[in-house]
Amino acid sequence: MKEAVMIPEQYKQIDFMKVKKKQKRVRFIKGMLFLLPSILLFSVFLFYPMARTLYLSFFLTDNSGATTVFVGLDNFKNIFTSPIFLKSLQSTFLFVLYTVPGTIIISLFLAVIANEKLTGIGFFRMIFSSTMGISVAAASVFWMFLFHPTMGWLNQFLEALGFEAIGWLTNPEWALLSVSISTIWMNLGFTFLILLGGLQSIDSHLYESAEIDGASYFYKLRRITVPMLSPTLFFVITVSFINAFQTFGQIDMLTRGGPQNETNLLVYSIYQEAFKNYQYGTASAQAVILFFIILLMTLLQFKLGERKVHYQ
Amino acid sequence: MTMAISKKLLFYLLLTVSALLVFSPAIIAFLMSFMSSEDILTGRIIPETWTLDNYIKAFERFPLFGYLINSFFVSLIIMIGQLLLSSLAAYAFVFLEFKGRDTLFFIFIATMMIPFEASIIPNFQTIRGLDLLNTYTGLSLPFFAVAFGTFLLRQHFKQIPKELKEASEITGMGDLKFYLTVVLPIAKTSLVTLGVYGFLTSWNMYLWPLLATTDDTVRTVQIGLKQLQSQEQLNEWGVIMAGGLIVVLPTLILLFLGQKKLQKGLTEGAIK
């Protein structure tokens, strides 16, 4: 008798397990169906290309990009002994060094003054965020004129003040700085918008109680604004870093990497090597370097950011 | 709380000077686009006579209108693709529970670390291999899946009460129907934010259209501007500026209309 009772129990258990398993499978399939389009496209246009780039970096290729000879690490050896590539790396780091702090400091200033409750402040916010709506190509055209050796406003201004005209884009000593200035301008809008959003999300009670205690404007700025803004700051710094390493459009429009390769930034160098010189192998090796730089930057920022950032 | 008058004046002064400095490159371009060549050569600031010649020339000499149409369609397609894929993925991450979900979420995060610029070579080969060079599909397909959009929408979907989902299950509503009839309408504002952002960034794209187009029929307006700049002679700055302003106008209007939402949406997507 005892056994007779036991068996159906066991069957029930199995049935129950089966149903649960089936439900699990259905749920899994459903989840995958919702995610499939994204996963598929990520695989085709992001993960596969990354692997393929790594693969190509070990080969020589023909003009169409098909692999011909396996050369191991030779492409990497070549780029790291090539003065042009080393120059490109150096320019890229300098460019990052100029543009990231420049963009952040100016945008922060604009966001702080645009965060006051004043009549007509919406208009100023609109102006400050406007460069986000101006494409790299259009911005480059605007700046190309400002940098123009004779007609450009910058040189006219300098001459009016009695200084000598500068070859903004043609003088090797100035070109990278000039491109950086125009890039800072292009990035202002986006960075400003994010920082303003961060400022507005700070609890106003903090300022009110500081005011009651008689705190000065700069004391509040230093002790409330900056610490409370740190997660947003951390985000824009990371994004600015990554963007700076990926700069391409303004180089192609303003200097084409010149003069004397001064502004031959990493992505432009990859583009030249792959699509002008048809050296897909070395271009891929450069792309791999770019990938690792950005990976390292992101990880470093996360590590450093975690400790210093103040989260609410 | 009211500010002292002197402090107010100081802020207005700072704001005005900053606004002038920030906007001056655009203002200069605007003024120049209405100037005659002589006005530009003599270095005038305000046009002596306002003329539309530069705009007419820009449209006459270049298939600018076609470029505008191309940019519009490519941006629209990318925008729709991003909205669709991001909202589907975000739905799965918020409302569906299944094995491997966290791993997949991590993969989505990992995609943010792969720069598109570092993978252009195989992507170019893929698109060429699929015979999609010089097509709208080839211009837009690589940008449909975006982790950023998924995170942004996930943030907003999470604010939808779980009870709604439970209620829908009790009434036997399927996930697809719940997604379409409940989730999407509730998340309308965040969809608009992402849409504006997607359109803006697609319109302004430069490197990929440069690689993926070789003839004028599908070329986007940004690459058109590069052509205009490199082919025009030095004296034709007015025409170049006119071209630049035409390129910038749609996105500036979109930005000004959606600025508040964009700011809110981007900040939330960025921080949380």
B-chain residue closest to A127, CA distance: B19
- If asked whether residues A196 and A141 sit together in one domain, one would say yes
Q: Does residue A56 form part of some domain?
A: no
Give the nearest partner residue to B206 out of A125, A137, A298, using CB atoms.
A137
Claim to verify: residue A133 and residue A275 sit in the same structural domain: yes
* A101, A210: one domain: yes
Res A311: pLDDT = 43
Q: Are residues A13 and A81 in the same domain?
A: no
Q: Are residues A141 and A40 in the same domain?
A: no
Contact B126 A44 (CB under 8 A): yes
- Mutation test of the interface with chain A: which of B62, B119, B130, choosing the one with the most A Cβ atoms within 10 A? B119
Residues 6+ apart with CB under 8 A from A41: B85, B141, B142, B144, B145
> Residue A12: its pLDDT value, please?
61
| Residue A310 pLDDT | 47
Q: How far is A86 from chain B (nearest CA, A)?
A: 18
The distance of B248 to chain A (nearest Cα, Å) reads 5
* B206–A248 CB contact, under 8 Å: yes
Same domain, A234 and A198: yes
Tens digit of pLDDT at every position of chain B (272 positions): 556 888 889 999 999 999 999 999 999 999 988 988 777 777 777 877 888 888 988 888 888 899 999 999 999 999 999 999 999 999 999 888 888 888 898 888 888 888 888 899 999 999 999 999 999 999 999 999 988 888 888 888 888 888 888 888 888 888 888 888 888 998 888 898 889 889 999 999 999 999 999 888 889 999 988 888 887 655 688 888 999 999 999 999 988 888 777 777 777 665 54
CA nearest A250: which of A146, A190, A180? Answer: A180
> Are residues A190 and A89 located together in one domain of the fold?
yes
Does one domain contain both A213 and A102?
Answer: yes
Residue B3 confidence (pLDDT):
67
- Nearest-CA distance from B242 to chain A in Å? 10
The answer to whether B187 and B68 are in contact (CB under 8 A) is no
Residue B119 and residue A27: Cβ atoms within 8 Å? no
Answer whether residue A241 is part of any domain. yes
Domain presence at residue A61: no
> Would residue A55 count as lying in a domain?
no
Residues A250, A134 share a domain: yes
Contact A295 B15 (CB under 8 A): no
Q: Residue B267 and residue A253: Cβ atoms within 8 Å?
A: no
Residue A247 sits in the same domain as residue A197? yes
Residue at A60 is within a domain: no
- Calpha distance A300→B197 (Å, rounded): 28
Element (H, E) at B191: helix B188-203
Question: A178 lies in which domain range?
Answer: 74-308
Mutate to test the interface with B, among A135, A147, A169 (most CBs of B within 10 A): A135
**A54 within a domain of the structure (yes/no):** no
The answer to whether residue A154 sits within a structural domain is: yes
Residues A43 and A157 in one domain: no
Read off the CATH number of the domain in which A296 is found. Answer: 1.10.3720.10
Instruction: Examine the fold and report which residue of A47, A65, A84 is the final residue of a domain before the chain moves on.
Output: A47
Positive or negative: CA dihedral A268, A270, A272, A274: negative
- Tell me which amino acid residue A172 is: P
Work out how many domains chain A is built from and give that number.
2
**Residue A133 resides in a domain:** yes
Choose among B1, B150, B175: nearest Cβ to A30: B175
For chain A, which residues score pLDDT lower than 70? 1-14, 305-312
Contact B18, A130 (CB under 8 A): no
Q: Is the same domain home to A39 and A103?
A: no
